Amino acid sequence: MTTPSGRNADQDKLNQLERIIEIMRQLRDPETGCPWDVEQDFSTIAPYTIEEAYEVADAVQRGNVDDIRDELGDLLLQVVFQARIAEEAGLFTLADVARGISDKMVDRHPHVFGGEDRPQIEEQSGRWEAIKAAERASKGKTGVLDDIAAGLPPMLRALKLQKRAARVGFDWANMDDIIAKLDEETAELRAEVSSDSVDQTRVIDEVGDVLFVAVNLARRAGVDPETALMGCNSKFEQRFRYIEHHADKIGKSMDDMSLDEMEALWQEAKTRPTV
C-alpha cells in the first residue's frame, strides 16, 4: 500500500474526515440507521467519551503506537457522535466545534499568530493563564475557581483546584510543609479508624483529606498524579500476577496461601524488571 503525499495526502485527510462524518450520519438515520446509535443523546454518550479518553492515556502509558492510533480514532468518533447529535437538534455542527477551538488556539497564541515576541516557556505559561482568565471573565466567571468542571474525575479536579488557588498565592511554602500536612492527615485518619466507635462519615472525610494532600504533594513535585497512579496500578498488577503465576506453578490456589507466602513472592517480584 502506497502512502499519499503532498496534495493527495491532504485530500485523503479531508476524505477520511468526511467519511466518518457520513458514517455517523447514516448510523443516526431514524429510518435506516442503527437502533442503538439512534437512541443515544449527550448524557448517554458522555461516559463513553470519558472512557475513550482514558483508553488513549493508557495506550500512551504503554507506548504502543498502533493502540494510540486506534484509541484516538475511538475518541474522534465520540466527538463526531456528539456533534451529530447537536446538529440534528439544530444546536451546532462539527464545523462549529472545529471553528471554535481553532479561534481559541489562535487567540491563545499571539506569539505565533499575532506577531508578538516568542516568550520563554515559563513566561508563556503565565500569558496562557492570563488569556484564559480573560476568557472566563468575558463569560462572567470571575471567581478564582470558576469554570473548573464538576464532572472531572476527582483526582484531576483536585489538581486543577490546587493549581488555580496556587496562582493567587494560596499554596504551601515548600515540600516539607506538604509532607508534614500529609503526616498530620494520616494521623487523623489513624485516630478515626482506631476509635472505639468508628464514624464512617468521618473516616470518608479523613481519607479524602489524605488523598487531597497527596495530590498537592505530586503537584509540587512536578508529577502528574493520574500518571503516577497509572504506573503504580500497572506495577501492582504485574507483581500480583507474579504471585498468581507462581502459586499455579506449585499447584496452589491463592486462597490456600498464607499472607507470609504471598508476601515472600511479592518481595521476589519486586526484584524483577517491570515491562
Residue 164 lies in a domain: yes
Q: What is the mean pLDDT of residues 147-162?
A: 90
Is residue 126 situated within a structural domain?
no
103 with 18, same domain?
yes
User: What pLDDT is stored for residue 196 in this prediction?
Assistant: 84
Residues 16 and 102 in one domain: yes
215 with 243, same domain: the answer is: no
Residue that wins the pLDDT comparison between 125 and 162: 162
State how far the Cα of 31 lies from the Cα of 34, in Å rounded to an integer: 9
Cell numbers standing for residue 131 = 488569556
Shared-domain flag, residues 177 and 259: no
pTM above 0.75, yes or no: no
Q: Show the domain range for 175.
A: 143-223
Q: Please tell me whether residues 104 and 23 are part of one structural domain.
A: yes
- Whether 76 and 43 map to the same domain: the answer is yes
**123 within some domain:** no
Question: What CATH number should be reported for the domain holding residue 52?
Answer: 1.10.287.1080
Q: Looking at the domain assignment, is residue 127 inside a domain?
A: no
The structural domain count of the chain equals 3
- Distance of alpha carbon 207 from the chain centroid: 22
Q: What is the pLDDT of residues 179-231, one digit of tens each?
A: 999 999 999 999 999 988 889 999 999 999 999 999 999 999 999 998 899 88
pLDDT of residue 2 exceeding 70, the answer is no
**Quick one: 157 and 197 in the same domain?**
yes
* The predicted structure's pLDDT at residue 3: 56
